[in-house]
Structures are given as C-alpha cells and as structure tokens.
Structure 1
Amino acid sequence: MRRNRSRRRSPLPTDVVANKGPHSLNTPAYTPLIQTQVNEIVNTAIELLATSGVVFEAGGEADGLLRDAGCIFLDEGIVTIPESVTRRALETAARMTTLWDRNGENPISIDCDHTWFMPGMTCIAVYDEETGEPRPSTREDLALITRVADKLPHVDAVCIAVKNVEESNQFGEIDEFACMMENTIKPLEYLCEHPSSLEAVINMAAALRGSHDALKAKPYFLHLITPLPVNLARIHSDQIITAARAGIPVGVGTLPIGGASSPITLAGCITHALMTDFAAIVLGQLAAKGSFCVGCSDVNFMEPATGAIGSFSQTSVADMAMCQVRRALGFPSLTGIGGCSVARRFNQDAVWEISSNMTQMFYNRPATIDYMGSLDQGLTYSLHALLLCDDLAGLLRKMWQGLEISSDQMAVDLIREVGPTGNFLAHQHTVDNCRTQVWNSRYFGPNIPLSNSGLADQDLFARLDDDLREKLSELQQPELPLETKAAVTAISKKYRNLLV
C-alpha cells in the first residue's frame, strides 16, 4: 500500500511544498514494530470489523450507505463490515489535505511528512488570575487564548482550547467557531456534538471564502469527531457524511481507556481503537469517495493503582506504535499526545510530563499535536503551559532539521589544516556554523536548564510569567473584514433563533 501512496496524492502548489513544518526529511521516525506486526494489527482490526462488528446508531443516512455496500445489520445496532469493504475504503481515502488560513494564504499540509502544533483541547476551566484556582472557562478566555496562540511562532493552527461553560449548548458550539475566527488569522481545528453545529460553521467558513466551492478548494478548518470506542452515535455518523461531502477534512477518533472501555494490553487497545478508525473511514468513503476522512484515535490506559487515566509508559509506547501503523498505511496521525499533563497545576510534575511527551514527538512524527497547554487530564487550561509547549516545539523543529553530511560539514579540509595540535575557536568555519544547530529557546539558556546570564536568577515559572505578561500587554485582535463579520453574525443569529 505504501508503494502507491504518491499516486493517490494530488499535486501541491509550490508554496505548499515550501512550508515550514517538515519532520521527515533528514531523520527517520521511530518504529517500535516490525512490518509483520503492523500487518497483523491492521489485518486483525479489519477481521474483527467483519466478525465482531461495530455499532452504528440507526436512523440516519448511514443506514442506507452501509446496507448498499454489503454491510450486515445485527441486533442492538451492531454492523459487521465485510473485509473487502474496509480494504477498499482504506485504499481510496485521501492521504493528505491542506488547510489555509483566514485570508486563504499560508497553507499547511496535513500528511505523513509534517507536524503542526495547536493549543487545545476543549478544557472546561482555566486558572483564575487572582486566586490561582481553577474556575469555569468563558468565551473571553477562549478569545484570549486564541489571540495568544495567534502570536506564538510555533503554533500553526488553533483549536477550541476551552469551552464557554455558560453556553454549554448547541449555540455555544457554533459561537466557539465564531470566536476563533475573530481572534486568529491561523487555520482552525473544530469539534462539536451536533450535526447542525457543523452545518452552521461550514456556512460561516463558506461566507469567509466567498462560496462553498471556494471553501472546498481551500479548506479553512479540520473537523474532529469523537465517538465512543466501536460505537458511532447518529450525531457522529451524520457529521462524517456532512463533512466528507462538503470537502471539509475530518478526523474521527475515539479516546479508549485501556482496562475500561478497551483491552488493557497495548496491542489490544490499539487494535480496538483501529476498529473505530476503520469504520469511520468506511463511512467517509461511502459518503464521498476520495475524501479526507481519517482515523485519529488516541490510546489511553487506566492507571492500575488509582483507576485514573495515566500510565505514561503504556500511553507513550502505544502512541508510537499507533503513529507507525498509520504511516504504514500512508495516513497522517492526528492528535499526537504531546503538550498535555495529568498534573492539576502547572508545577514541576507538569513540566516533567509536558517536556517528556513533547520531546517524544521527535520519534512519533504525528501530523498534529493539539493538546498543548492542557492540564488536569484535559480539564483545565494553562497559558503558562502553552508558552512552554511553544518553546519546546521550536526544539523539535530544530532537531528535525537533522544533520548534513558533506565535506564542508565534516570539516575535512579544516581538520587537515588545523592538525592534531591546533584549535578551531577562531576559525571562520566556526563563526559560520556556530549557531546553525542551536535551539534558540526563549526560556532556557545554552547551558540548559540555566545559563550564566540573568536567567539564573529566576525559576522557570517566573520566566514564563514575565513573558506571558508582556505578550498579554501587546495583544490586539486581528479584525475580521466587515462583510465577513456581518455574515458570521447573521448565521449565528439564525441558528440561535432556530434553537430557542
């Protein structure tokens, strides 16, 4: 399947090819599995879909699409998908897509060769500036985080970092998209529960682009759908169909908890998650053949000691394996686990976990890392954590540049010239190359973690806090064009009236 991958990709504009996020040009990704193990996992997931099946809630258009494709409907909503149907869908699904910013510029390629960084995702609390304690998040918090993310150099797109808890309803979902449109130029990542919310934001994005066809030509957002393991509710299957037909790139992924909603073993949890992914890909291809509808399940595990989600070692290895399996099929791996922490505060525990899972992304090579700044198992958002993640994203991009092997870089002539008794300090070659491989961190000195400069007088939190306060003092909202703002307002008003 890998052999045909380039044939399935449509040619990219030259400005897409030259974008800033490559992760696979100079260094290989880590592969914890051998190819026969990858094949066994994939084949087993396909076989289980055909025998054990997956639940599709009845009552929507998915019923007819699946029946016409030869799927078998059993009791309790269970649907078995013939192996030939799944393999055909895996063959025809698009392997890449491109997102464009609010102005229809600066494209980013969602594929197997790039990694993009985003804040996220759907936290329901932030830390109060006065007390430091978590409080329910608001629309103003989402706007603020989005504006900060808009200015961070290594944040490439923006997703719903926090919910507007007071509007925990269908209109609130729609308004979150409008809020992000208002506060960043960058492309968006979106998720919702209601199919009508997706229809509304597609209309908003089409108003921004000028038409639905223009939106299909230059997608503005990536849509995420999060069903339960091997169980797609109608609201999820309807969204898959709507997004695929509208040309909106979509990732469908469950959040299995090994030991609870999925098997506790690494291989079992991965296989179970892939069943959900593959079922979604099948429906996406039945709705619109060739559409970008890919699986993006994150694999999590129950911590045996407490019953909470945790088990860092299991989650890390499973994520590496899941990324490898998707790469083997030619699919980008969305929602990499980097940038988040189960710690309840931005403290030493959080810094350790964020640093560990962010640097692990060097080996995993996901297409998107969109949990940056999320603490307390994804419940509470921290701008301090986001700033640290952005800095570590710079480290990853420096490392992904790899090293050049050439006569000049090996300094062959220079070594001969200097000889065994000389030194290289004052040589022009040193001057020319002394900064090429250095990570220009905002918060750490060259002698990590501290340099001999004034950074040594502050701990990490103080450095981050000073930088955050400076950024907040300089924030400005990137205003929407008046005609777009009017169209978005009209669409929001229309759906609010329909939902009253």
Structure 2
Amino acid sequence: MVNIRSNYLEQTPVLRWVSESQLEEIHLATLEVLERTGVQVDHPEALKLLKDAGCIVKDNRVRIPNWLVEDCIRLAPRKIVVANRKGQRVMHLESNRVYFGTGSDLPYTIDLETGIRRRSTKKDVEQACRVMDYLPNFDFVMSYAIASDCAAKASDLHQFEAMVTNTVKPIVFTTHDEKNTRALIEMAAAVAGGHEELRKNPFLVLYSEPISPLVHTREGIGRMFACIEHGIPVTYVSGVVAGGTTPVTKAGCIVQMNAEALSGLVIAQLKQKGASIIIGGNGTPMDMKNSTTLYGSPEHAMNYAVMTQLSQYYQIPNFTEAGCVNAPVPDAQAGFEAGINLLMAQLTGANLVHDVGYLEGGKTGSLAFLTMCNDFIDMVRYMGRGTRINATTLAVDCIDEVGPGGNYLAHQHTFDHFRTEIWSPQLFNRLFWEIWEEKGAQGIADHAKNMAKEILASYQPEPVKESVRAELQKIIADVEKDEFSA
C-alpha cells in the first residue's frame, strides 16, 4: 500500500485495540469493497464527478478504483479547526485531541420537574444548550431534543436558532434537506457577521450520512456540497445496525462503515480538493431478541475503538459516539454503560465524540443525566492525562523526610499536590453513611437533577444581538412560507 501518513502524534496513555497490520488488512478489504461492489450514488453532480475521475459508473452504481481512494485520502486535511460563536478557534480536530458533546433529535425528554417522559419541544433544546453552555466538560453541542412543537418543514432551523441563542460553544447540526441546509448557512452567516467571517472561523459542523448499506442519497450529498461550498466542515459518517444494515461480525461491520465513509470522502474531495471532511461512524449492533440498537454494548465501544484507529491511520479527524446508553433512566446501568464507552473514547483519542447523555438507545433525553455525564467526562479526562512521573512526583525527598512511622497529611508536598493528584467530582457521593443520611440521603441522580435546576434558574449564556435574532427568525419564517431562496 502507498504510505498514507501512518505516523501520528501520541499522548499518554493511548489505547490501541488492533495492530497496525490489522488496520492495513481492514483498509485493503475496504478498497476491495469499493472497487468490486461499489456504492449507489443518487446525486447527479456527484455521479459526473466520479465518472470524470475514472470510476466505473453504470446507472447509479459506482465502482471506485483503489488508487483514487488513496489519492483522496491524501487530499483531505489532517487537521480541522472549529470556532465558537465568538470566532475563537477552540476545537482543534487532530491527532488524539478529544472533544465531547451531545447528540441530536431525541423524540422524548424526561421532564426535569415531573420526571415524566414526554415529547420533546423547542424549549428542551434551549434548556439543554443552556446547561451544556454552563457545564465545562461539554465542548460542543447538538440539539439533543427535537423541536416537535414547531412547523415540521422548519423544525431543524428552529433547533439551530435554539442552539445558537443559548450557547457560545461550537455546534454540530442536522438538517432535513439541502434547501434547509442553505437556509441554516444563511442563519450562521448572520451570527458570524457575514459569509467571509463564517468561512474564516466556522463555528458549526454538518452531520450528514449515507444510508447503509452503501447508498449515498441525493439529500445527503446535497447537504454536504452546500457546506463544502461555504467552507463549513462536514461529518459524513455511517449510522448502522450490525446484523441489520451491516454484517454482524465486528470486522465486517467496520469494513462496510469504512467503505461508506471513504467513498463519501472521495466525493467530497472531487467536489473540492482539501474539503474539510470528518470520517468515522455509528456502529451499534442489533439486539436479536428485541431489535433494539445497543448503544451501551461492549461491541459499540469496540467498533469505535477500531474506527478511531482507522482515522488516525489515515490522519483524518473522526466522529464517534460515547456516553450513550440503553438504560431508560439515569440509573446504575446508565452510569456503567456511559462510563465504559466514554473512557474508551478518551483513551483511543477520538476527536468529536457525540451522543453523550442519550438514554433508551437514542430515544430519550434527561438534563439530569447530561449533568451526571459532565462528571463522567471529567473523570475520564483526568485518567486520560496519565500518571505524571518526574523528580517531584516520585517524592523520594518527601519519603525520606517523613521516614518510617510518620505521616504525610501535614507535609508541604501533600498540600502542593493533592488537588492535581486526587480527582474531585461535583456529584459523586463520598460521605460516610451517617453524614450522608444527615445531608438527606440523596444519590447522584438527585444531585444531578438539583444541579440542572440550579443552572436553569441562575445561568444565562451570552446573548446574540437582537438584530441577529430577528434575522434568524425571518429566515425561518421564509422557509415556513416557502419563500426562502439561497
């Protein structure tokens, strides 16, 4: 194989789930799928670009030669920088830098006041973004909830308005179709101060995807092309169910996901050399007993570990999942499922890690669970920094000064280092039983619910200008009345 930038920066500790030779085996299998089986492409411009580049095209089936795939991998940027709403470049997607955020479009929400599961609304998007704007371990936001109480044709734009007016953090967005994508780009340009400012420091990333197995839809590519034209980064990744839309074997699932991601990358680079594309995928297996997608399963974390290594092998930023669970409520199962896959994402060095805080296999949201996940992320980041080993931390002088039979509690070395050497959570209970009872005998879910309420009662994110808010509302109204034109 041609040498594809296989050397990448490493931090300590870094988990490697498969070997370099196994990665190459997956890559070669992916090339075989793309050249032998090919993909279906339902976008006329993309079909022409592929044919002109040397692909075998018959009707809408495209077989992509391996040399073209490897050429396009080399064209894709190895680093993508995403700004926040204020134009500050805050997310550097490269190497093993890890950023956490929520997912989008949850149809149900567990009401913070009543505890009842109900349909999500635009207010739920607003509140989730306010909470995430406050919580330090969420680096970017997605809508979390669906604005089901808004006009369906513009609900995606209502969600973007709710996000951009309730957080300054970077946004990963979804849209219904190409037309609404272009409308949303106009909204983003209004916030950024014009298209050139948006291009210089994009504060948003598109999430679009093919349809498994191996179909690139007209709308999926249309959304991607609209963003490429305006310099907005694109995640173009598979959302699969192993055993349903991919082979049930983990390796087969990964090969197909990689084929879908790399064929999307080829299309992006043919549209514009150096287009900011983020690869990866959402590789959950199917529970064969009840047909659910297993977000909190071990296979879920294992698939993403390999997909992350593949992106590092190519040196292309990746998009993956963690902190999402099958538990319907924020209980012990939810905590374990979220913690395990968050730790895997941190240690493998994934870049954009989304869907944090999903309950019920991606159907239900909870502000209390989001708040709990802030602590979970804090813990895995602490572990991801590794163990510092130097003359100071080895503490030989300190050990000698205390000597046999002494204690370290009053020693200056302890005072100097305990804050960095012992992790301190916000919500975890570490009290003796009697003290815990005196303080109300509350568990972490109770503490998280109270904290979320306190955030909503006391915290307001930095607002956008009223003139910008009015422009956002005008664009949405034009789409609702079918009067918007890009």
* Paired residues for 1:9-88 under 5 Å: 26-58=11-43, 60-75=44-59, 77-88=60-71
The letter for the 2-side match of 1:461 is A
Alignment partner, residue 475 of structure 2: 491
Give 3-state SS (helix, strand or coil) of 1:408's partner. Answer: helix
Give the Å deviation of 1:226: 2.1
Residue 112 of structure 1 contacts residue 333 of structure 1 at CA under 8 Å; is this kept in 2?
no
Distance in structure 2 (CA, Å) of the matches to 1:478 and 1:450:
42
| Correspondence 1:354 to 2:310 | no
Give the Å deviation of 1:449: 11
Distance in structure 2 (CA, Å) of the matches to 1:158 and 1:203:
19
Give 3-state SS (helix, strand or coil) of 2:206's partner. Answer: strand
The letter for the 2-side match of 1:357 is N
Alignment partner, residue 333 of structure 1: 318
Residue 444 of structure 1 contacts residue 455 of structure 1 at CA under 8 Å; is this kept in 2?
no
| Correspondence 1:183 to 2:194 | no
The letter for the 1-side match of 2:238 is T
| Correspondence 1:127 to 2:110 | yes
Distance in structure 2 (CA, Å) of the matches to 1:327 and 1:207:
35
Residue 13 of structure 2 contacts residue 385 of structure 2 at CA under 8 Å; is this kept in 1?
no
The letter for the 1-side match of 2:15 is Y
Alignment partner, residue 270 of structure 1: 254
Distance in structure 2 (CA, Å) of the matches to 1:263 and 1:473:
48
Alignment partner, residue 16 of structure 1: none
Give 3-state SS (helix, strand or coil) of 1:239's partner. Answer: helix
The letter for the 1-side match of 2:219 is I
Distance in structure 2 (CA, Å) of the matches to 1:277 and 1:33:
19
Residue 25 of structure 1 contacts residue 401 of structure 1 at CA under 8 Å; is this kept in 2?
no
Give the Å deviation of 1:364: 2.6
Give the Å deviation of 1:118: 1.2
| Correspondence 1:111 to 2:126 | no
Pairwise CA RMSD:
2.4
Instruction: Give deviations 1:165-185, integer Å, cap 9, x for gaps.
Output: 233633111221112111111
TM-score by length of 2: 0.93
Distance in structure 1 (CA, Å) of the matches to 2:435 and 2:25:
49
Give the Å deviation of 1:367: 0.9
Give 3-state SS (helix, strand or coil) of 2:266's partner. Answer: helix
Alignment partner, residue 145 of structure 1: 128
Give the Å deviation of 1:425: 2.8
Give 3-state SS (helix, strand or coil) of 2:62's partner. Answer: strand
Distance in structure 2 (CA, Å) of the matches to 1:450 and 1:37:
53
TM-score by length of 1: 0.90
| Correspondence 1:202 to 2:189 | no
Answer with 448-457 or 391-400: which moved more: 448-457
Answer with 217-226 or 102-111: which moved more: 102-111
Give 3-state SS (helix, strand or coil) of 1:285's partner. Answer: helix
The letter for the 1-side match of 2:171 is L
Alignment partner, residue 250 of structure 1: 234
Residue 151 of structure 2 contacts residue 480 of structure 2 at CA under 8 Å; is this kept in 1?
no
Instruction: Give deviations 1:296-316, integer Å, cap 9, x for gaps.
Output: 211111123333222712222
**Number of positions where the alignment pairs a residue of Structure 1 with one of Structure 2:** 480
Which of 260, 284, 287 is residue 303 of structure 1 equivalent to? 287
Alignment partner, residue 414 of structure 1: 398
Which of 441, 457, 465 is residue 425 of structure 2 equivalent to? 441
The letter for the 1-side match of 2:240 is P
Give the Å deviation of 1:39: 0.3
| Correspondence 1:432 to 2:453 | no
Residue 445 of structure 1 contacts residue 451 of structure 1 at CA under 8 Å; is this kept in 2?
no
Give 3-state SS (helix, strand or coil) of 2:408's partner. Answer: coil
Alignment partner, residue 84 of structure 2: 101
Answer with 137-146 or 490-499: which moved more: 490-499
Answer with 365-374 or 478-487: which moved more: 478-487
The letter for the 1-side match of 2:163 is M
Give the Å deviation of 1:397: 2.0
Residue 369 of structure 2 contacts residue 445 of structure 2 at CA under 8 Å; is this kept in 1?
no
Alignment partner, residue 373 of structure 1: 357
Instruction: Give deviations 1:282-336, integer Å, cap 9, x for gaps.
Output: 0110111011112221111112333322271222211111111111111222132
Distance in structure 2 (CA, Å) of the matches to 1:54 and 1:413:
65
Give the Å deviation of 1:469: 2.0
The letter for the 2-side match of 1:296 is G
Alignment partner, residue 166 of structure 1: 149
Alignment partner, residue 320 of structure 1: 305
Change in Cα spacing, 1:447 to 1:50, as seen in structure 2 (3 Å) is farther
Give the Å deviation of 1:231: 0.7
Identity %: 27
Alignment partner, residue 236 of structure 1: 220
Distance in structure 2 (CA, Å) of the matches to 1:416 and 1:141:
57
Give 3-state SS (helix, strand or coil) of 1:297's partner. Answer: strand
Gaps of 5+ in 1: 7-23
Answer with 198-207 or 460-469: which moved more: 460-469
The letter for the 1-side match of 2:314 is L
Change in Cα spacing, 1:176 to 1:106, as seen in structure 2 (3 Å) is same
Instruction: Give deviations 1:409-435, integer Å, cap 9, x for gaps.
Output: 111222333334443332211111122
Give the Å deviation of 1:126: 0.8
Distance in structure 1 (CA, Å) of the matches to 2:437 and 2:382:
23
Which of 336, 342, 355 is residue 326 of structure 2 equivalent to? 342
Give 3-state SS (helix, strand or coil) of 1:409's partner. Answer: helix
Change in Cα spacing, 1:380 to 1:449, as seen in structure 2 (3 Å) is farther
Give 3-state SS (helix, strand or coil) of 1:308's partner. Answer: coil
Residue 13 of structure 2 contacts residue 386 of structure 2 at CA under 8 Å; is this kept in 1?
no
